[in-house]
Amino acid sequence: MESIGKELLKVAQAVALLLLFSSIAITTATAQESAPSLQTVLTRYAGATRTSPTTDEELARRLFRRGNTYSNLERHEEAIEEFEQCIAADPNFAEGYRNLANT
């Protein structure tokens, strides 16, 4: 009886691992599928500094969003540059400091 219990425990552990790895694979695939849409966002934000925002806060917010997009694409150097420009545009924009620190 005890050996049957041990075997059932091993099977349950194997099933749990299989479910865990399946979940990781699905999450990875979903992230890869969303990458093209993130590229589209970057294209949309490409003109953030070319158009004239009405306030420094507006420019900071655009740079912040672009930094977030680079960060989501794991393009960390570019994200850092955007967050630094965000802070330069509006030194009171706290989210820029936070995301710079987290990148």
- 3-state class (DSSP) for residue 62: helix
- Long-range contacts of 39-43, Cβ-Cβ distance < 8 Å, separation of 24 or more: 39/73, 41/65, 41/69, 42/66, 42/69, 42/70, 42/73
List of residues 6+ apart from 16 with CB closer than 8 A: none
Helix (H), strand (E) counts: the chain: 4, 0
Tokens of 84: 């630094």
Q: pTM (2 decimals)? A: 0.53
31-79: pLDDT as tens digits: 555 556 777 777 776 665 555 555 788 899 999 999 999 999 999 999 9
Q: How far apart are CA 76 and CA 100, in angstroms?
A: 10
Under CATH, domain 2-102 is a member of which superfamily? Answer: Tetratricopeptide repeat domain (1.25.40.10)
> In this model, does residue 28 exceed pLDDT 60?
no
Break the chain into its structural domains and give their ranges.
2-102
pLDDT interval class at 25 (50, 70, 90) = low
Q: How far apart are CA 70 and CA 49, in angstroms?
A: 16
